[in-house]
Structure 1
Amino acid sequence: MEYLKLVSIVIPCYNDKDYIEESVNSALSQTYQNTEIIIVDDGSNEATKKILSSFNHKKVKIITQENKGLSAARNVGIINSNGDYIVTLDADDIFENSFLEKAVPILNLKPDIGVVGCFSNYFIKRDKIIGKNCPTGGNIDSFLFRNNTMASSLFRKKCWYDAGGFDEKMKKGYEDWEFWISVTKQNWEVFVIEEFLFNYRKKENSMLQITNLLYEEENYYYVLNKHKELYTRDFDKTIDFLQRRTLRYKSNELKRLSSVDYRLGNMVLRPLRFFKKCISSLFAN
């Protein structure tokens, strides 16, 4: 029956022993009940495997593999899924109970829409919300220069096939954004429910924070080159985007150089630099 289509909830898990139970429970607690839950153990440690072995529910299936990264784990889960609709859930994030109940009918009734997201809360603990994200969805033009829906959006399995799956070469973040670009360039639309139905956990030293610090430029370079036909088509917008990023970096660098911490650090290190210079000159002679 159209309105009872199976939804496959794919949960990649890598060393998430402290959070995986809460995430799985949020999947099991969905008011839309025609679901299956596929946990992909992506080479987790023994402590996490012990938690996973405790799950005993007819809806839950666990697949174990060596560590291959988030994109590969998602793809394996989807390959082994039975649902027409898919949603990926990171093992430390949480759905509100009514997300699928509100998202599934949109895909049922609107054949041009391939993806349904919602607004998200950023949290540390469930009772401590530290931020909000209100994306707008849209078509390919809405995704060229930013990720415009949440990672755990509901999508048709056909979208995954059309996009060629999650890019397994991307192991340093931004795989969600690239996937939505690949989906929307196939003329699928993304709809966003304007309700806070998803909770994204912000952790110290999280993947997103590390990505932003270390691999942001590398990821942008990869995405822009992979989809270069899109960015050359809108060349003026691409130049404007890159220019704004350059100006932002310059502004941040000026703030850093003028900060009290930077100046104080220079004062502390100045004698050490002088000493190092003297030692180098002594040995040079």
Structure 2
Amino acid sequence: MRRSFTRKLMKPGSSSKGKSNLPDKGSRFRLGYEQGYEQGIAKGKESFGQPFHGTSIVIPSYNQVEYLARCIESIMTHTAEPYEIIVVNNASTDETDAYLEKRSLQIRSKRLDTNHGFSGGVNQGIMMAKGDTIVILNNDVLVTPGWLTHMLRCLQSDSMIGAVGPVTNYISGDQQIAVPYKTVDQMWEYAATHFKPDETKWRQTDRLVGFCILFRRELLERVGYFDEGFRVGNYEDDDWMIRIRLSGLKLLIAGDSFIHHFGSVSMKNLGQKQFNAVHRHNELYFREKWGNPHVWVEKVRRNDSLFQNTVSSISAGSPADFFPSHVLIRDQGGQHYFLCDGAKSPCAALEDETGIRPVVLSRMDIRSIPTTEASMSEAALLSELKPPSGELADGQLVSCGDGTVYQWIKGSVRPIVSEFALKRWNLKERSLVMLPPEKLENLPHGLPIIAPPILKNPVL
């Protein structure tokens, strides 16, 4: 009875005379938990949006939850460095939602209402990423021991390396290697013995495929987002690689990093007819946008002074280095600017009165362009956008009749890479001044003008 009486006296919530006023153990736990939770919330809000010293692994995913789960399991098993996983669910209709909910404490995810394709999914994930470095990864891969370690060593070995990719069993291009295995179990045995740190296996390339790409966060400010004008998948990674190379940066294959690739699972799931239609559209879009992009890369490289100026400005450069002058631009929020000689001036919209349409750019690209203090009046804006016909004025288009159109800027010319780029910048309606071929050839030539990426997500 004594023991029972003691328990009654000490029961939480009892008010016996002489009892300590300290909270009981359960109350202290609850109080500590609540205080810790509030402190955690405050700390999270304080650090939200701040990069961390690790790698953000961005996985765009449409259906194929079984492959996604195996991919993530391999990341968690074989990644030694600090990392976060970001899955962009491209409106999957299978069990992807349930899987991501179950993994919500380990994975950051975003569900899109419609399938935005590879480019749209990657762009959303990039926007969410917090790491110093970022990996774009397909959902139909298995990473192996040392995969990220070796790629990071390669990337960090030279500040002029823009992006790094691994080797694999199944891909188009230089990254495919011959492998002896036939099953996934045999693959693990192969990976464990064949991929040790080895700098002699690093090699430069002209193309990396988007199944796995590692790059520094700063590259985004130099090159910009992926182009969402491509449908579902194919060619958008080629487009991004051309922009990296135009910036003077190198692409490297880390041959000591191996990833198993099941191969185009999402694309094959479209069915042959739809796959062919998507492939034809993306191939045509790429050709219209660039013509032969390798010609432009080589022209920049052959012009030694131009190439050195491009390379030296890598840290401070932006996609605007390849934008034209004397054009209207606006951000996704609707703010209009006049872009002139690499700087932007706030201005009012002119479309309703004049039909002059702005080109929509990402907020990231807009932020990278210096802003002048003074806003432009409508009269001043119109005089800049509509120079006298037939006269050589800054912003004017010129040609010698060989099919290439240039923009005249302060006595030099910049080639516009394609008819598509001309239309994207709303320059097609401007008058054209014809120059003798010998005069045009002897003028200083600046960086080529390329088409900006199409963005369908209003938050970019």
TM-score (norm 1): 0.67
Partner of 1:182: 243
Q: What are the superposed Cα offsets for residues 191-210 of structure 1, whole Å, 9 maximum, x if unpaired? A: 11123611111349616985
Q: What are the superposed Cα offsets for residues 142-192 of structure 1, whole Å, 9 maximum, x if unpaired? A: 24xxxx445312112222332221111111422222221222221111111
Q: Alpha-carbon deviation of 1:230?
A: 3.4
Partner of 1:87: 135
Q: What are the superposed Cα offsets for residues 233-281 of structure 1, whole Å, 9 maximum, x if unpaired? A: 579xxxxxxxxxxxxxxxxxxxxxxxxxxxxxxxxxxxxxxxxxxxxxx
Q: What are the superposed Cα offsets for residues 8-47 of structure 1, whole Å, 9 maximum, x if unpaired? A: 0001121122211111112222333210111111111252
C-alpha contact 1:26 1:97 (8 A) present in aligned 2: no
Q: 2:166 aligns with which of 102, 118, 128?
A: 118
C-alpha contact 1:8 1:37 (8 A) present in aligned 2: yes
Q: What are the superposed Cα offsets for residues 32-67 of structure 1, whole Å, 9 maximum, x if unpaired? A: 321011111111125221122111544x21112212
**Alpha-carbon spacing, 1:17–1:162, altered in 2? closer, same or farther (3 Å):** same
CA distance in 1, matches of 2:202, 2:276: 23
5 Å matches for 1:204-283? 206=268, 210=272, 213-228=276-291, 230=293, 233=296
CA distance in 2, matches of 1:8, 1:158: 13
Partner of 2:111: 64
Matched residue SS, 2:66? coil
Percent identity of the aligned residues? 24
Q: What are the superposed Cα offsets for residues 110-167 of structure 1, whole Å, 9 maximum, x if unpaired? A: 10011111210139952477xxxx99643xxx24xxxx44531211222233222111
CA distance in 1, matches of 2:240, 2:73: 26
Q: What are the superposed Cα offsets for residues 201-237 of structure 1, whole Å, 9 maximum, x if unpaired? A: 13496169858733444323322332237355579xx
Q: 1:166 aligns with which of 226, 231, 236?
A: 226
Partner of 1:14: 62
User: Please, what is the CA RMSD of the aligned residues?
Assistant: 3.1
CA distance in 2, matches of 1:91, 1:149: 14
C-alpha contact 2:119 2:236 (8 A) present in aligned 1: yes
CA distance in 2, matches of 1:227, 1:163: 16
C-alpha contact 1:119 1:135 (8 A) present in aligned 2: no
1:109 aligns with 2:160: no
Partner of 2:345: none
Q: Give the unaligned 5+ runs of structure 1.
A: 236-285
Which has the larger share of helix?
1
User: AA paired with 1:117?
Assistant: G
User: AA paired with 1:118?
Assistant: P
CA distance in 1, matches of 2:56, 2:122: 11
Report which of the two structures shows the higher radius of gyration computed on alpha carbons.
Answer: 2
Partner of 1:283: none
Partner of 2:95: 47
User: AA paired with 2:112?
Assistant: Q
User: AA paired with 1:126?
Assistant: V
Partner of 1:245: none
CA distance in 2, matches of 1:8, 1:65: 19
CA distance in 2, matches of 1:137, 1:207: 33
Matched residue SS, 1:171? coil
C-alpha contact 1:136 1:191 (8 A) present in aligned 2: yes
Partner of 2:77: 29
Partner of 1:240: none
Aligned residues: 220
CA distance in 2, matches of 1:37, 1:124: 29
Partner of 2:314: none
CA distance in 2, matches of 1:163, 1:218: 23
User: AA paired with 2:224?
Assistant: G
C-alpha contact 1:149 1:192 (8 A) present in aligned 2: no
User: AA paired with 1:44?
Assistant: S
Partner of 1:193: 254
Q: Alpha-carbon deviation of 1:79?
A: 0.5
**Alpha-carbon spacing, 1:231–1:34, altered in 2? closer, same or farther (3 Å):** closer
CA distance in 2, matches of 1:213, 1:229: 22
**Alpha-carbon spacing, 1:194–1:231, altered in 2? closer, same or farther (3 Å):** closer
